Amino acid sequence: MPTYSSVITGTGHHLPKRVIANSYFEDKLDTSDEWIITRTGIKQRYFADHEETTSTLGIEAAKKAISDSGVALSDIDLILVATSTPDLTFPSVATQIQAGLGIEKGCAFDIQAVCAGFVFAVANANALIKAGEATKALVIGTETFSRILDQKDRSTCILFGDGAGAIVLEKTEVVDDGKQAGILATDLNSNGRYRELLYVDGGVSSTQTTGYLRMQGREVFRHAVNKLVSSSERVMNKANLDTIDWAVPHQANFRIIQQTSQRLNLDKDKVILTLDKLGNTSAASIPISLSITNQEGKFKPGDIILSHAIGGGFCWGSFVFRWQ
């Protein structure tokens, strides 16, 4: 009886029009370009204008991923959107993107795991495809985090940016030759005890306001490195892998990426960095980085690629796949 895998056949990303250099914050906060770069590695980020929303950014990224994959819009039967910044309380961003693309079949829904959202969405899409619930899926990470930033809080407002990234996952029969392209393994985790370390202080049920992002940076840093390393080791074991060709980590902070990579013994030249130009785009950061790297032609058929992320809650996880 055949078994199936889900293969990444297309990538795409879309960024807002407005570029925000570090100098933007110098008149508003006690900070400087040098201070931000030294502590975070970020030189600029993008903020959405009023007419740009989480769904409109996601639609544009999805269009590019579909074009890259060559699949027909009418063949898409699953849309999963990872976001913490939806346009509306409901309906979901996924259904808005579905309508924006003119897709009328299949199902579409959102996944909320903050910065780890794309990892969770990939794992769920992969499981649904392998279970026979879908054949061609759009998996999108899209965010407008600028909407929930306290511009007076230096510890958070300099870190985040807006954008969207997308991939197309297609169902493929597994050929047992040890070189099967597609998602090889996933690892998902969460622990709600850490809520106070990274959260938004508003919500529909609690305050009836949007609220602002709040973070205890040092504690988040400590947990991030340990949890990302352990998840990556588990997912590599699940896939029976000893080495990888590329790491495409969540782009949260240069020091987190650096320390995590060192503990995993990853070659720094094989760790993809987009943080300097994009900031932390939360659930969008991994798919944007995948799309940029694919456009640059760095991925080769058969390459093994590891991605991992951690977000508020905490939620964290990883996935590993072979490039087609």
Q: What is the pLDDT of residues 145-189, one digit of tens each?
A: 999 999 999 999 999 999 999 999 999 988 776 788 999 999 999
| Average pLDDT for 213-223 | 96
Tokens of 10: 């297309």
Residue bearing tokens 């759009």: 138
- List beta partners, residue 176: none
Q: Does the structure show a pLDDT above 80 at 241?
A: yes
Q: Is the pTM of this model over 0.95?
A: yes
- List beta partners, residue 165: 13, 141
246: Cβ contacts below 8 Å, ≥ 6 apart:
270, 271, 272, 293, 298, 299, 303, 304, 305, 306
So what's the pLDDT on residue 134? 98
DSSP element (H, E) containing 256: helix 254-263
Q: Does the structure show a pLDDT above 90 at 103?
A: yes
- List beta partners, residue 318: 187, 308
- Selecting among 13, 223, 250, 308, the annotated active-site residue is 250
**Alpha-carbon dihedral angle through residues 82, 85, 90, 92, given to the nearest 10 degrees:** -20
- Selecting among 22, 115, 157, 294, the annotated active-site residue is 115
157 annotated active-site? no
265 annotated active-site? no
CA within 13 Å, CB half, 41: 15
115 annotated active-site? yes
- Selecting among 22, 124, 126, 280, the annotated active-site residue is 280
